[in-house]
Amino acid sequence: MAKPVMADKHLHFAQALSPGGWAKHVRIGIADGVITTLVEGVEAEAGDECHAIGLPGMPNLHSHAFQRGMAGLAERRGPGDDSFWTWREIMYRFVDRIDPDGLRAIAALAYMEMLESGFTRVGEFHYLHHDPAGEVYADPAEMSRAIIAAAAETGIALTHLPVFYAHAGFGGAAPQPGQRRFLHDLDGFARLLDGARAAAMQLPDAIVGVAPHSLRAVTAAELGHLPALAGNNPIHIHIAEQVKEVEDCLAWSGQRPVQWLLDHAGVDARWCLVHATHMTPDETRALAASGAVAGLCPITEANLGDGLFPAPAFLAAGGRFGIGSDSNVLIDMSEELRWLEYGQRLFARGRNMLAPDAGRSTGQVLFEGALAGGAQALGVAAGLSVGHAADMISLDPDHPSLAGRSGAALLDSFLFAAGRGAIDRVWRRGKDVVRDGRHIARAAVIADYRRALEPLVA
Ligand code: NGQ
Ligand code: ZN
């Protein structure tokens, strides 16, 4: 007979969001970072740590951590019409200067801010692989190690997504000089994956997936080799973010990007299609039916002028979604969810656009949808259940925006009224890494970031 696992500690919440909905008086036992017991409707026992409002930690399914270092530096008008593509030129110039220690320090700041805003796992879509000359480092996974070190330093869970990148445009166009630090052939990429997998073993619960950067950056033949390298782990790709990409894909193949991918790549529930902004109604339904997750990054999509994802039609078709902080121009879980809804309100001149039926809480639909889809996209189980990592958030019951609220109304008021200021604690594997809304290593992480960043922007 298996011995019952003794909990190292117990948390007690006056109310908590469990997979079955809001529950009262929830007592959670934790051993070795994992939830071992969860009992509803019981009082706290002596020695329990007591809190008012418990939520599961949110997955952040799409990040380019290094871009946190240039947040706010691309908001000055250039000589012509600015666009995603002029932003990308500025981003490439920033990339040129980052070394492994700089990447670690910038990523640590980004990951600390993610934890403070309620994200407990990050999908790092990592393509800054080589040295500034474009040469492979002595350890091909040197830059992956910097990402892994930043995750270890801050405590965030990592789904590492090494990116395969080989071309500048559809049909295998030769890469540009600004892309030299991203490039591999398939053999070199397999070596990177081996190194990244070995390095990720130092984290308690890291997952390593695979990410073809976009249909612009890989050929059809290369794309065919990548899913097998992922095993059962996640496969992420940027797709149909910009109209120019749709036009170039039509010119190359006669099909739009999402349609082409669904027809040629065996897209299933392992896949996360990041952005998928520009889709026809048929593509929207077909993506929903594939079981893949749409990786939505509302703050970045607004910042870069991408366009608006057809969320109401996608959700009506049963589509799965999660949220990502992508360019990290502003890291805030509640604000991502708020803008996912607000974009639709502005466009359709309506309200409560993503709640499917009368009486449903928009906040709860957003939070639970992004939790389930984000976990799927990052290769983990979602929510507060026995056997899952004890990754949790508590909200501050004294925040004025939460006064008198309970259940779903807490999520509505957190997401639409209070925002991140209502986050009190964040636990990773049962350890509180954020207290009173601040990461336990905040001062050191910021000091290290300043030291690393100043030479990069001088
Ligand atoms: C990236 N970011 O890889 O960082 C991209 C820009 C590209 C977004 N798409 C580069 N938001 O797509 O070519
Ligand atoms: Zn991206």
Statement: residue 4 has pLDDT above 90:
no
349: left (phi over 0), alpha (psi -120 to 50) or beta: left
Which domains, ranges and CATH numbers included, belong to the chain? Answer: 9-56+383-438 (2.30.40.10), 58-378 (3.20.20.140)
Mutate to test the pocket of ligand 1, among 61, 62, 64, 128 (most ligand atoms within 8 A of CB): 64
> Which ligand 1 atom sits closest to the C-alpha of 300?
11
- 63-77 as b/e: b if 16+ CB within 10 A: bbbbbbbbbeebeee
pLDDT at 220: 98
pLDDT tens digits along 154-166: 999 999 999 999 9
Q: Is 273 helix (H, G, I), strand (E, B) or coil?
A: strand
Amino acid at 144: S
Q: Is the CB of 264 under 6 A from ligand 1?
A: no
Is residue 225 flagged as an active site residue? Answer: no
The first and second tokens of residue 202, run together, are: 């130092």
Q: How far is CA 62 from CA 295, 316, 395, in A?
A: 7, 24, 24
Q: Is the CB of 326 under 6 A from ligand 1?
A: yes
Among 15, 37, 18, 11, smallest CA distance to 368 is for 18
- From the list 10, 167, 275, 278, the catalytic residue is 275
Is residue 275 flagged as an active site residue? Answer: yes
Q: Is the CB of 241 under 6 A from ligand 1?
A: yes
Statement: residue 2 has pLDDT above 90:
no
Tally the residues of the chain: 458
- Residue 270 to residue 289: CA distance in whole angstroms: 13
Contacts of 326 (CB under 8 A, 6+ apart): 62, 63, 64, 67, 274, 297, 299, 300, 301
Contacts of 410 (CB under 8 A, 6+ apart): 15, 53, 395, 402
- In angstroms, the first-to-last Cα distance of the chain is 64
- From the list 306, 326, 396, 412, the catalytic residue is 326
Residues of the chain above pLDDT 70, percent:
99
The first and second tokens of residue 73, run together, are: 């530096």
- Residue 52 to residue 396: CA distance in whole angstroms: 7
Q: How many Å lie between the centroid of ligand 2 and the Cα of residue 31?
A: 35
Q: Is the CB of 88 under 6 A from ligand 1?
A: yes
- Residue 268 to residue 169: CA distance in whole angstroms: 25
Nearest ligand, measured from the Cα of 163: 1
Nearest ligand, measured from the Cα of 214: 1
The first and second tokens of residue 187, run together, are: 């053999």
- Residue 266 to residue 429: CA distance in whole angstroms: 34
What does the radius of gyration of the chain's CA atoms come to, in whole angstroms?
Answer: 21
pLDDT tens digits along 336-394: 999 999 999 999 999 999 999 999 999 999 999 999 999 999 999 999 999 999 999 99
* Contact status, residue 287 vs residue 273, Cβ threshold 8 Å: yes
> Which ligand 1 atom sits closest to the C-alpha of 216?
13
pLDDT at 6: 84
The helix (run of H) or strand (run of E) holding residue 153 is helix 142-154
Statement: residue 171 has pLDDT above 80:
yes
> Which ligand 1 atom sits closest to the C-alpha of 306?
11
The first and second tokens of residue 341, run together, are: 């809804």
Q: Is the CB of 301 under 6 A from ligand 1?
A: no
pLDDT tens digits along 206-247: 999 999 999 999 999 999 999 999 999 999 999 999 999 999
Q: How many Å lie between the centroid of ligand 2 and the Cα of residue 7?
A: 39
pTM above 0.75, yes or no: yes
Q: Is the CB of 124 under 6 A from ligand 1?
A: no
pLDDT at 7: 86
* Contact status, residue 268 vs residue 289, Cβ threshold 8 Å: no
Q: Tell me the pLDDT band of 458, cut-offs 50, 70 and 90.
A: confident
Q: Is the CB of 332 under 6 A from ligand 1?
A: no
Q: Tell me the pLDDT band of 176, cut-offs 50, 70 and 90.
A: very high
* Minimum CA distance residue for ligand 1 atom 6: 88
Q: Is 16 helix (H, G, I), strand (E, B) or coil?
A: strand
Nearest ligand, measured from the Cα of 61: 2
pLDDT tens digits along 15-47: 999 999 999 999 999 999 999 999 999 999 999
- Residue 216 to residue 171: CA distance in whole angstroms: 8
Statement: residue 5 has pLDDT above 80:
no
Q: How many Å lie between the centroid of ligand 1 and the Cα of residue 238?
A: 8
> Which ligand 1 atom sits closest to the C-alpha of 217?
13
* 158 Cα distance to chain centroid: 10
Nearest ligand, measured from the Cα of 303: 1
Mutate to test the pocket of ligand 1, among 127, 241, 244, 277 (most ligand atoms within 8 A of CB): 241
- Residue 275 to residue 162: CA distance in whole angstroms: 18
